[in-house]
Amino acid sequence: MINKETITEWFKSLQDEACNILSQADGKGVFFEDAWSRPGGGGGRTRIIQNGNVIEKGAINFSAVYGETPEKILQALNLSNADFYATGVSTIQHPFNPFVPIIHMNVRYFEMSDGTWWFGGGIDLTPHYIDDNDASDFHSELKKICDSHDTSYYDRFKNWADDYFYIKHRKETRGIGGIFFDRLNDKPKEDIFEFVKDVGTMFANFYKKMMLKHQNDPFTESDINWRNLRRGRYVEFNLVWDKGTKFGLDTDGRTESILASLPPYAQWPYKYDANPKEQETLDKLKKGIDWINKKGL
């Protein structure tokens, strides 16, 4: 039987597995754990990797929090007044090499004492320089996962990701997107959970492939400056638009863990003039691209 306890235990195992895969792929960096407790109920395990061979800073975090639902959450989600339970895994990896992309993944489960429940999550890739073949590979894997559960999922969740991972004030997408879904409860809980598990499991295996493919790509100081500018765009999205950040802060989550997604270095040069290679990426930061068939580029 699927319940919050079995879901929570699987999320813990996902964190363990992902940490093992990425630390082995990095070859130097290891994840250290910082366990924490939430005064209102629950807690989590923050795991951070820093200054590895490939990953400059990364986080794979697990949390399970519960208690009285804050008024802000009740109003924002149009919920009745009841206690909540929320658990999930969230990860973000910031590499040294500008040709290794940033990756984000989050899978989560939410329920209330009145019987309300849903799953949410998403995974997206944010290259500093967009590689069309990597983008096609990423989206092809996502479509395969989606199609194995529901053939409507990929188009539906890909479009949702295009809209969600969009930096409105810059009028550009955060990267090449991926999939995003929220408040998913239109099928039996067991069926949706299997889909969520497949999304969660894909993350570390795919990112290991990107690490091994690009970790030795040559780069210049100019590439580092561009990487740091693109990281700045990532910071802007997380602090201005990301609902997960807002949820964590509004439920008195651990601030240090919530903001672990931010890179160690970023920059905001004034009126930056992109060079031709950089402009190629900027021109592709738009919604609606068919990355699998490379249409709309």
- Catalytic residue numbers? 104
Q: Are strands 166-167 and 32-37 parallel, antiparallel or unpaired?
A: unpaired
The answer for 102, left when phi > 0, alpha when psi is -120 to 50, beta otherwise, is: beta
Cβ–Cβ under 8 Å, residues 112 and 79: yes
* Strand ranges for 96-174 from DSSP E: 102-112, 117-126, 166-167, 172-173
- Phi and psi at residue 107, in whole multiples of 5°? -130, 140
Rounded to an integer, what distance in angstroms lies between the CA atom of residue 127 and that of residue 266?
15
Nearby residues of 7 by Cβ (< 8 Å), 6 or more positions away? 87, 109, 193
Rounded to an integer, what distance in angstroms lies between the CA atom of residue 137 and that of residue 146?
14
